[in-house]
Amino acid sequence: MNLLSAEDLTHTFEYELFNSVSLNLDPKESIAIIGISGSGKSTLLHILSTLLKPNGGRVKIFGEDIALMDKKRLTKIKRDDLGLVFQSHYLFKGFSAYENLEVAAMLSKQNIETPLLEHLGIKECIHQKVTELSGGQQQRVSIARVLTKKPRIIFADEPTGNLDKQTAGEVMSLFFEYCKNNNAGMVLVTHDEVLAQMCTKVYKLQNKELVRIK
C-alpha cells in the first residue's frame, strides 16, 4: 500500500499554480520536487502534508482520503505519523534544544535517542537555549525533533537551506537511512538538483505540470 498518493491535484491563488498533479510514495522511497521559485513546490508540499486543501483532486494517506477523515483521525495522523521540516525552524524560543525534543517525544510517546543527536552533531549543545544556537544548529535540532517522533512520512521544504554542503549531505543521508530502517517515506522540496538526485524519484514542477525526470 502507498504511504501517500495524490490524484489530479489542482490549485489556484491569483492564477493557476498547477493542475492534474499525481504521484505515489511507497515505503522506503524518497521523492524530490524541484522547480523555479514561484512554480508552486511549497504549495504542493503543503497540500500533500494536509496543511492546505487543494482546489481539486484528492490526497490519500495510508490509503485514506484525507478529505473524508474526521478531525480526530486527521489530528492523530498529523501528530503521530507526519514529520514536517521547514527552512524556518519553528522551535520554542524560550526552551532549550533538549526541551524542544522532549515536547515532541512526549506527544508521540517516543524516546530521545542519543545516537541521533550524535549523528546530527548537536549532542554537545543540546542543553543550550535555542536563542544561543546558530542557524545551522537550530535547523539540526528541528530535524532531530521531527525524527524523534518516528514519523511514517517526512515532508521537507528546503531542509538543508541553512546548512553547509557537507552537513547537508550528511543530513540527507540520515533521512534516507531513517526511511529505509523505518519503512518510512520522504517528500523533499529543494532548489538543489544534486540533493534531489539522491532521491528515489525526482519530479519537476513546470508549466503547471509535475513531470517525472528520474
Cα 182 to Cα 28, 62, 124, 147, 153, distances in angstroms: 8, 15, 26, 11, 10
Tell me what pLDDT residue 6 has: 98
For helices 135-148 and 165-182, give the axis angle rounded to 10 degrees. Answer: 0
Tell me what pLDDT residue 161 has: 82
Report residues of the chain scoring pLDDT below 50. Answer: none
Tell me what pLDDT residue 73 has: 95
Which grid cell is 80? Answer: 503521530
22-60 per-position pLDDT tens digit? 999 999 999 999 999 989 999 999 999 999 999 999 999
DSSP state letter for 65? E
The CATH class of the 1-81+153-214 domain is: alpha beta
Question: HEC states along 168-206?
Answer: HHHHHHHHHHHHHHHCCEEEEECCCHHHHHCCCEEEEEE
Using alpha carbons only, give the angle 208, 212, 214 rounded to the nearest 5 degrees.
150
Which grid cell is 53? Answer: 486543501
Looking at the chain, the domain(s) classified CATH 3.40.50.300 span: 1-81+153-214
Q: What are phi and psi of 126, to 5 degrees?
A: -65, -25
What's the rounded Cα separation, in Å, for the pair 5 and 79?
A: 19
Cα 17 to Cα 147, 180, 211, distances in angstroms: 31, 33, 14
Tell me what pLDDT residue 90 has: 83
24-34 per-position pLDDT tens digit? 999 999 999 99
